[in-house]
Amino acid sequence: MEYQVFGLQNGIRLLYKPSPSSISHACIVINAGSRDEPENKDGLAHFIEHLLFKRTGKRNTTQILNRLESVGGDLNAYTTKEYTCIHASFLNPHVERALDLFEDLVFHSVFPEDELRKEKSVILDEIASYEDQPEEAINDDYEDQIYQNHELGRNILGTEKTVNNLFKSDIKQFLTKNYTTSEIVIGVFGNYSFEKLKRVFIKLFNDIPANRSLKSRTPPGRYHPETKNFKKPISQAHGIIGNRAYSIHHPDKTALLLLNNILGGTGMSSRLNLQIRERYGIAYTIESNYIPLTDTGIFSIYFGTDQEKIAKALKLIHNELKKLREITLGTSQLHRAKQKFIGQIALGEENRMGLLISMCKSLLDYGKVDTLAEIFEKINNVSAEQLLKVANEIFEPSALSSLFFEPLNDLEAD
């Protein structure tokens, strides 16, 4: 995974991955997300991400949106629990235009009061729309369940009450505290001379004042597994089963990534999909996910099914978890699982924007980016015994939390 890194004295870093394509991709990744918000200010990081596009010292909203679209480019952004990311795709000649826009948005947005009012309304509509999608909403409620009274349990969008309680002073304080220049990486994927790209980077970002605020994140408290059921005006039942899991720095992270892929990861040949969808036809959608974070992680199994099939689906899911806890994978099984996972990662490199953002996050988290060979070596070093140990830690029945959204019956609906 060939790449080059160059850093400025203010701490901002440039990561460059060369590509022979005529299409370039760029991103700016900031190590600041919803878990960094003050109490009762849920949704602030996401609110700021929206407002970055509204007005700067030299551009209005139309000029911001047209800056890349006028040359056929694309501009977008998103917020997670731990990151804020702006990304763009464009033809190679327009790299300076893209990076200049990033610099303007992140460091010179002015957050006018009229835009704050308008964007609150937009986000409240987004929240209402999101709540109409139970397959999405249940994931947020599950995270709140396993991280009760902690920042990681907050909905990234916030709530109607907290969004209406966001003000310009909150934005300024959040930026000062969390947009630390040493925690910002600009990534470029394209066909350039690195020396030329460095000159553009220095020209645009060298004069940004260093922000060396000390970021501190509160680790989540003790975990208490529990089961919750809610009645909703929906037609299908939705369920999540899961547990807290390993952080990005845990030595068993790679083993759990592999185990998750075996159980219910990408592709139609996962154990959960073959057993529950293909063999029994119980759930149209069933998948497992593992998200490692700075100091913790989230493991979950999601499924959607008819209400009368919930018990059967749960029995089959727990049977698969039991097999992974009790039966050591054979040599050929383990080899096939590793080859599948390795192949999926290699194919994932075709998603160049996703790859670039992942590399920037890796530089922020670890100070380096692993090559594909190094990633594959970590996967190949996972043993069947390690998988069994991880399965018994993460899939321990008494440690699993469950959350269900079930349809209202006729009397309740009335």
Residue 327 lies in a domain: yes
Lowest-pLDDT range of 74-78, 95-99, 327-331, 369-373: 369-373
257 and 116 part of one domain: no
62 C-beta neighbours (distance < 10 Å), count:
8
The enclosing H or E element of 229 equals strand 227-232
Residue 33: Cβ-neighbour burial (10 angstroms; 0-12, 13-18, 19+): buried
Please check whether residue 283 lies inside any domain of the structure: yes
Average pLDDT over residues 311-338: 97
Evaluate if residue 412 carries a pLDDT over 80: no
> Is 214 among the domain residues?
no
Answer yes or no: do 179 and 318 share one domain.
Answer: no
Position 268 scores a pLDDT of 87
pLDDT score, position 215 = 82
Choose among 325, 329, 337: nearest CA to 395. Answer: 325
Q: Is 306 exposed, middle or buried (0-12, 13-18, 19+ CB in 10 A)?
A: middle
Let me know if residue 217 belongs to a domain. no
Catalytic residues: 49
CA pseudo-torsion sign 131, 136, 139, 140: negative
Distances (CA, A) of 230 to 156, 157, 239, 311: 21, 21, 10, 16
38 and 110 in a single domain? The answer is: yes
Whether 138 and 245 share a structural domain:
no
In a domain, 219, yes or no: no
Domain tally for the chain? 2
Residue at token pair 């018990």: 311
pLDDT at 214: 85
Q: Which of 15, 40, 35, 14 is nearest to 84 (CA)?
A: 35
Quote the crossing angle between the two packed helices 95-108 and 61-69, to the nearest 10°. Answer: 160
- Give CA–CA dist 340/327, Å, rounded: 20
Residues 194 and 295 in one domain: no
Domain carrying residue 354: 227-413
Crossing angle, helix 331-348 and helix 253-264, to 10 degrees? 90
Torsion over CA of 287, 290, 291 and 292, rounded to 10 degrees?
Answer: 180
Q: Are 273 and 281 in contact (CB under 8 A)?
A: no
Distance (Å, whole) CA 28 – CA 101: 11
In the 3-class helix/strand/coil scheme, how is 73-138 assigned residue by residue? CEEEEEECCCCEEEEEEEEHHHHHHHHHHHHHHHHHECCCHHHHHHHHHHHHHHHHHHHCCHHHHH
Is residue 275 domain-shared with residue 197, that is, in the same domain? no
> How many CA atoms, within 13 angstroms, populate the side-chain half-sphere of residue 28?
24
The verdict on residue 73 lying in a domain is yes
Is 162 in the same domain as 289? no
> Domain check: are 188 and 296 in the same one?
no
- pLDDT value for 199: 98
114 and 60 fall within a common domain: yes
The pLDDT, as a whole number, for residue 125 is 94
CATH at residue 156: 3.30.830.10
Burial environment of residue 25 by CB neighbours within 10 A (0 to 12, 13 to 18, 19 or more): buried
Query: Could you give the 3-state DSSP secondary structure of residue 214?
Result: coil
Task: Give the residue from 212, 218, 136, 122 showing the smallest Cα distance to 164.
Answer: 122
Distance, CA of 303 to CA of 167 (rounded, Å): 38
Nearest to 42 by CA among 130, 164, 132: 164
Q: Based on the domain organization, do 251 and 196 belong to the same domain?
A: no
Residues 186 and 154 in one domain: yes
Residue-wise pLDDT tens digits, 238-291: 999 999 999 999 999 999 999 999 999 888 899 999 999 999 899 888 999 999
Amino acid in the structure at residue 123: I
Q: What is the pLDDT of residue 411?
A: 54
Identify the pLDDT of residue 409. Answer: 76
For residue 362, what are its two tokens?
Answer: 């890796």
The answer to whether residue 349 is domain-embedded is: yes
Q: What is the pLDDT of residue 74?
A: 97
pLDDT value at 413 more than 60: no
* Residue 221 falls inside a structural domain: no
The two tokens of residue 376 are: 């594959």
- Rounded to the nearest 5°, which phi and psi values hold at 73? -85, 175
User: What's 385-409 look like in SS3?
Assistant: HHHHHHHHHHCCHHHCEEEEEEECC
Same domain flag for 163 and 112: yes
Neighbours of 23 (CB within 10 A): 15
- Averaged pLDDT score across all residues of the chain: 95
